[in-house]
Chains A and B, each alone.
Chain A
Amino acid sequence: MGSVAFDLEQTPVREINHFIHKDANAGDKIAITNAGGAHSIACGCDKELEILIDGHAGYYAGGMNKDADITISGSAGTGVGENMMSGKIHVKGFASNGAGASAHGGLLVINGDAGLRCGISLKGGDIVVGGSVGSFSGFMAQAGRMVICGNAADALGDSLYEAIIYLRGEVKSLGADAQFEPMTDDDYAAVAELLSKAGEDFAKYSPKEFKRIASSKSLYHWNADANQEY
Chain B
Amino acid sequence: MAEHKSISKEESYSFDRSAIDYIRNAAAHGLYEIRGMGAKRKLPTFDDLVFLGASNSRYPLEGYREKCSTKTVLGTRFAKKPIELEIPITIAGMSFGSLSANVKEALGRAATEVGTSTTTGDGGMTPEERLSSKTLVYQCLPSRYGFNPDDLRKADAIEVVIGQGAKPGGGGMLLGQKVSPRVAGMRTLPEGIDQRSACRHPDWTGPDDLAIKITELREITDWEKPIYVKVGATRTFNDVKLAVHSGADVVVVDGMQGGTAATQTCFIEHIGIPTLAAVKQAVAALEDLDMKGKVQLIVSGGIRTGADVAKALAMGADAVSIGQGVLIALGCNGETYYQNGAHHDASADYAALGTCAGFCHHCHTGKCPVGITTQDEVLEQRLTPEVGAKHLKNYLKTLNMELTTIARACGKQNVHHLEREDLVALTIEAAAMAGLPLAGTNWIPGL
Query: Is A71 located at the chain interface by the 8 A CB criterion?
Result: no
Q: Which of A14, A21, A98 contacts B203 (CB 8 A)?
A: A98
Question: CB-nearest residue of chain B relative to A98?
Answer: B203
> A64 touching B149 by the CB < 8 A rule?
yes
Question: CB-nearest residue of chain B relative to A16?
Answer: B219
Report Cα–Cα, A85/B209, bound state, in Å. 22
Q: Which residues of B (183-237) have their CB < 8 Å from a CB of A?
A: 187-190, 193-194, 198, 202-204, 209, 212-213, 215-216, 219-223
Query: Is B143 located at the chain interface by the 8 A CB criterion?
Result: yes
Which residues in A have their C-beta under 8 angstroms from that of B188?
104, 123-124, 142-143
Report Cα–Cα, A162/B150, bound state, in Å. 25
> A39 touching B198 by the CB < 8 A rule?
no
Could you mark each residue 147-172 of chain A with 1 if its beta carbon is under 8 Å from any beta carbon of chain B, else 0? Answer: 00000000000000110000000000
Query: Is A46 located at the chain interface by the 8 A CB criterion?
Result: yes
> A123 touching B144 by the CB < 8 A rule?
yes
B contact face: mostly helix, strand, loop, or mixed: loop
- Given A64-B152, A79-B204; A121-B198 close (CB under 8 Å): yes
- Given A64-B149, A83-B149; A121-B202 close (CB under 8 Å): yes
Q: Which of B144, B150, B209 contacts A121 (CB 8 A)?
A: B144
Query: Is B40 located at the chain interface by the 8 A CB criterion?
Result: no
Residue count of chain A within 8 Å CB distance of chain B: 44
A contact face: mostly helix, strand, loop, or mixed: loop
- Given A121-B144, A140-B198, A221-B193; A43-B220 close (CB under 8 Å): yes
Which residues in A have their C-beta under 8 angstroms from that of B187?
142
Which residues in A have their C-beta under 8 angstroms from that of B148?
64, 83, 85, 104
> B219 touching A161 by the CB < 8 A rule?
no
Which residues in B have their C-beta under 8 angstroms from that of A124?
188
- Given A14-B223, A66-B149, A142-B189; A221-B216 close (CB under 8 Å): no
Report Cα–Cα, A117/B31, bound state, in Å. 29
B205 to chain A minimum Cβ distance, whole angstroms, is 8
Interface size bracket, B side: 20 to 34
A216 to chain B minimum Cβ distance, whole angstroms, is 13
Query: Is B176 located at the chain interface by the 8 A CB criterion?
Result: yes
Report Cα–Cα, A17/B149, bound state, in Å. 14
> B203 touching A222 by the CB < 8 A rule?
no
Report Cα–Cα, A85/B144, bound state, in Å. 13
Query: Is A82 located at the chain interface by the 8 A CB criterion?
Result: yes
- Given A44-B220, A63-B216, A63-B220; A220-B194 close (CB under 8 Å): yes
Report Cα–Cα, A230/B31, bound state, in Å. 9
> B222 touching A21 by the CB < 8 A rule?
yes
> B209 touching A40 by the CB < 8 A rule?
no
A51 to chain B minimum Cβ distance, whole angstroms, is 14
> A13 touching B219 by the CB < 8 A rule?
yes
A222 to chain B minimum Cβ distance, whole angstroms, is 5
B408 to chain A minimum Cβ distance, whole angstroms, is 45
Which residues in B have their C-beta under 8 angstroms from that of A94?
none
Q: Which of B152, B175, B204, B223 contacts A78 (CB 8 A)?
A: B204
Query: Is A4 located at the chain interface by the 8 A CB criterion?
Result: no
Which residues in A have their C-beta under 8 angstroms from that of B127?
none
Which residues in A have their C-beta under 8 angstroms from that of B29?
224
> B216 touching A39 by the CB < 8 A rule?
yes
Q: Which of B31, B144, B190, B216 contacts A40 (CB 8 A)?
A: B216
- Given A14-B223, A221-B194; A78-B203 close (CB under 8 Å): yes
Which residues in B have their C-beta under 8 angstroms from that of A39?
212, 215-216
B172 to chain A minimum Cβ distance, whole angstroms, is 12
Query: Is B440 located at the chain interface by the 8 A CB criterion?
Result: no
Question: CB-nearest residue of chain A relative to B30?
Answer: A224
Question: CB-nearest residue of chain A relative to B205?
Answer: A97
Most interface-central of B31, B189, B203 (chain A CB within 10 A): B203
Question: CB-nearest residue of chain B relative to A222?
Answer: B194
Which residues in B have their C-beta under 8 angstroms from that of A21?
222
> A82 touching B222 by the CB < 8 A rule?
no
Query: Is B267 located at the chain interface by the 8 A CB criterion?
Result: no
Question: CB-nearest residue of chain B relative to A124?
Answer: B188
Report Cα–Cα, A218/B405, bound state, in Å. 56
> B219 touching A43 by the CB < 8 A rule?
yes
Query: Is A225 located at the chain interface by the 8 A CB criterion?
Result: yes
> B222 touching A59 by the CB < 8 A rule?
no
Could you mark each residue 13-25 of chain A with 1 if its beta carbon is under 8 Å from any beta carbon of chain B, else 0? Answer: 1100110011000
Q: Which residues of B (111-139) have their CB < 8 Å from a CB of A?
A: none
> A44 touching B223 by the CB < 8 A rule?
no
Query: Is B147 located at the chain interface by the 8 A CB criterion?
Result: yes
Could you mark each residue 76-114 of chain A with 1 if its beta carbon is under 8 Å from any beta carbon of chain B, else 0? Answer: 001100110100000000000110011010000000000
Beyond A121-B144, A161-B189, list 11 extra A-B contacts (CB 8 Å). Answer: A39-B215, A40-B219, A44-B149, A82-B203, A83-B144, A83-B203, A121-B198, A139-B202, A161-B190, A221-B176, A225-B30
A-B contact pairs, 19 of them (CB 8 A): A17-B219, A21-B222, A40-B212, A43-B216, A43-B220, A60-B203, A64-B220, A83-B148, A83-B203, A98-B202, A98-B203, A101-B144, A121-B198, A139-B202, A142-B187, A142-B189, A220-B193, A221-B193, A224-B29
In the A-B complex, list the 9 residue pairs whose CB atoms are closest, starting with the nearest.
A224-B30, A44-B220, A79-B203, A101-B202, A102-B144, A64-B149, A98-B203, A101-B203, A121-B202
